[in-house]
Chains A and B, each alone.
Chain A
Amino acid sequence: QPQLQQWGAGLLKPSETLSLTCTVYGESFTGYYWTWIRQPPGKGLEWIGETIHSGGTNYNPSLKSRVIISMDISKNQFSLKLSSVTAADTAVYFCAWSNPQYAVGGTTRAFEVWGQGTMVTVSS
């Protein structure tokens, strides 16, 4: 199993771009889905999107126009960029790894490993 360590700016102004990075330790990128999930204060989990080592991506339709998830295989990192942020984007952001042994041939995702979370606040 990999370990994930994430980092990025925690305070943004409205209209700025959120940028977070997750470093993967102990596992290669090959064959895995790498995911970002967020959780507004006191609220539930929201899937943002995912990338796979081939470069393919899937995004939450509600965020798709503002999200880019990318990876840097040479650094074992994947990143999240969310543009034009507002107060509604204030949340704890998590990176996560889906265990393919639990995910039945790609017909679901099973997030067994999570980053520590980054609190991002959007405020003027």
Chain B
Amino acid sequence: SYELTQPPSVSVSPGQTATFTCSGDKLGDRYSLWYQQKPGQPPVLVIYQDNKRPSGIPERFSGSNSGNTATLTISGTQAIDEADYYCQAWDSGIVVFGGGTKLTVL
């Protein structure tokens, strides 16, 4: 079965750039998506089709996908960005999520 791997945690200071990685076999050959989830809330889609933002998602969120790794970047990280971030892909009719990365804004 297809697997996506994410590091468990990332820490940044306010105003810095937060980078999240998601690794999977030939992930760059399929679309990656990213979700933000705050405690007690459903996830929010922040990136789709590797690098597109849904309406209402701030420009500081960006994405890329190549080779075996998809990347989510938050530029100028704010305290409100502290959350868990999950990557997602689709493999042979099955939706796959990464294990999630917890962002701490110090």
On A, residues with C-beta under 8 Å from B are: 35, 37, 44-47, 50, 58, 60-61, 94, 96, 99, 102-104, 107-112, 114-117
Contacts and interface: CB of A to CB of B under 8 A. Distances in A.
A79 to B, nearest CB: 18
A46 B97 contact: yes
Interface in B51-106: 52, 54, 86, 88-90, 93-100
How big is the B interface, by class?
20 to 34
Contacts, number: 65
Mostly, the B contact residues are strand
Residue of B48, B95, B96, B99 contacting most chain A CB atoms (<10 Å)? B95
Interface of B: 1, 30-31, 33, 35, 42-43, 45, 48-49, 52, 54, 86, 88-90, 93-100
Given A94-B42, A112-B54, A58 B97 contact: no
B31 A117 contact: no
- Scoring A45, A94, A103 by chain B CB atoms within 10 A of each residue's CB, the highest score goes to A45
A58 B45 contact: no
B31 A45 contact: no
**3 cross-chain pairs, A with B, having the tightest CB-CB distances, nearest first:** A114-B42, A47-B95, A108-B90
B86 A44 contact: yes
Contacts of A47: 94-97
Given A107-B90, A112-B54, A35 B42 contact: no
B31 A111 contact: no
